[in-house]
Amino acid sequence: MRWYRRVCATFGGLAIAGLVLPATAGVALAKTPAAATATATASNAVAYQIDPRHDGDQPAGALQVSALTRKWSVTLGRKGSYDVGAGDVSYPIIAAGRGFVTVQNATSYGGRLYALSAATGARLWSVDLPGTYGFSALAYDGGDLFALNYDGVLTAFAAGTGHELWARQMPGQYSFTAPPTAYHGVVYVSGAGVGGTVYAVGEKSGAVRWKASVMNGDKSSPAVDGTGVYVSYDGQQDYRFSLGGKLLWHHQTCCEGGGGSTAVLHGTHLYARGDVSTDTPAILSQTSGHQSGSFASFTAPAFGSRYMYTLDAGNLAAVDPSGSPDHWRFGHGNLVTAPVVSGSTVFVGNSAGTVYGLSAASGKRIWVGQAGSVIHGPDEQNADVLIGMAVGNGLLVVPAGRVLTAFGG
């Protein structure tokens, strides 16, 4: 377990670089059915909170809630408790008829990457992800899967076979705790150690195209769209870079330190939470970085066609994108997951393993499912594996401890 101390002055220090060997190539264990349909491809979940904007919204292939049942459930990894979340299954990537997750090793450093059939849950291939501590995280683009470990080794795999395409050590930092984001041929990575760095890496070659300094590089998966690259760190140190690496704005307070969280892009605004334990989340202009409001959410908010959905004190709230007012609330203080949206339904899970489907407009409960185990929320401070649900390829996929469950029509 690792803690971060917040300060009101820049801190630095000597880095002891950690370098590990790249992951070995995966071995295909089974073949998948024919290529996914155009609809399934359009409804891929390719990053934490579904897409590179991290907005939790799956606009394609809305789930038919009336027909939603458990399709499969698998248990991965091994029991153990050497670190926070040891043995837990990560947020899933869902693409081209497959589901991909990483699982932290239960009794040692490192983790393992699994590729599963989206139709049956059968294991297609798997590969070790060695490294210091247990952090690992995934992104997908263009038929390739990208895995990052704690030491900053970014590895590209052919998603269909598990064949390793390349592995690159990110230069200059030694602590990587934020999931990568892949967008239009580039993988964006955030790293820390001495200050912080944001990297842009070519998907085909693994070459670093540009890097930029930030304060201080922890826990913030880059949010990306055609307007730029956005990250959010402790003290509301929030940044926008162009896709070419130029700093466009830097929003900041008096303080900075270790920690951060994944910001969300929606409409013309960035929803930045900084360090979730100390900062008040801010709504920033995407264009200028000026703050227009604030909101309350322990997890990344999700967005539907009308409302922003936040997790506040264990309850789900539907809020105007401006940050107020609340339109409805649901829960009894035990909801833990970042919400995700599919069409007119918003999904959220509680700590006991129950998943709810709610009317996005009214908050009325319209569906209930069981994930098969205790659900842990996304711990953006200490845990090595970031947990979250995803909707893609006609499935709602829910990690619950070592159990991964898929619901479909």
Please say if the pLDDT value at position 35 is more than 50.
Answer: no
What pLDDT does 256 receive?
Answer: 87
Tens digit of pLDDT for each residue in 271-280? 999 999 899 9
Please say if the pLDDT value at position 164 is more than 90.
Answer: yes
In angstroms, the Cα distances linking 74 to 53, 60, 99, 148, 377 are 29, 26, 12, 24, 19
- pLDDT band (50, 70, 90) for residue 39: low
What pLDDT does 20 receive?
Answer: 35
Tens digit of pLDDT for each residue in 339-356? 999 999 999 999 999 999
What pLDDT does 277 receive?
Answer: 87
Poorest-pLDDT segment among 2-6, 65-69, 103-107, 123-127: 2-6
Tens digit of pLDDT for each residue in 332-343? 999 999 999 999
**Position with higher pLDDT, 230 vs 77:** 230
- pLDDT band (50, 70, 90) for residue 79: low
Average pLDDT over residues 255-282: 94
Average pLDDT over residues 204-219: 97
Please say if the pLDDT value at position 11 is more than 80.
Answer: no
Please say if the pLDDT value at position 394 is more than 90.
Answer: yes
What pLDDT does 108 receive?
Answer: 87
What pLDDT does 28 receive?
Answer: 39
Average pLDDT over residues 290-309: 97
Q: What is the mean pLDDT of the chain?
A: 90
Please say if the pLDDT value at position 315 is more than 60.
Answer: yes
Please tell me whether the overall predicted TM-score, pTM, comes out greater than 0.85 for this model: yes
Please say if the pLDDT value at position 284 is more than 50.
Answer: yes
What pLDDT does 107 receive?
Answer: 82
What pLDDT does 120 receive?
Answer: 97
Neighbours of 333 (CB within 10 A): 9
The percent of residues in the chain predicted with pLDDT above 70, rounded, is 88
- pLDDT band (50, 70, 90) for residue 106: confident
- pLDDT band (50, 70, 90) for residue 42: confident
Average pLDDT over residues 126-147: 96
What pLDDT does 300 receive?
Answer: 98
The percent of residues in the chain predicted with pLDDT above 90, rounded, is 82
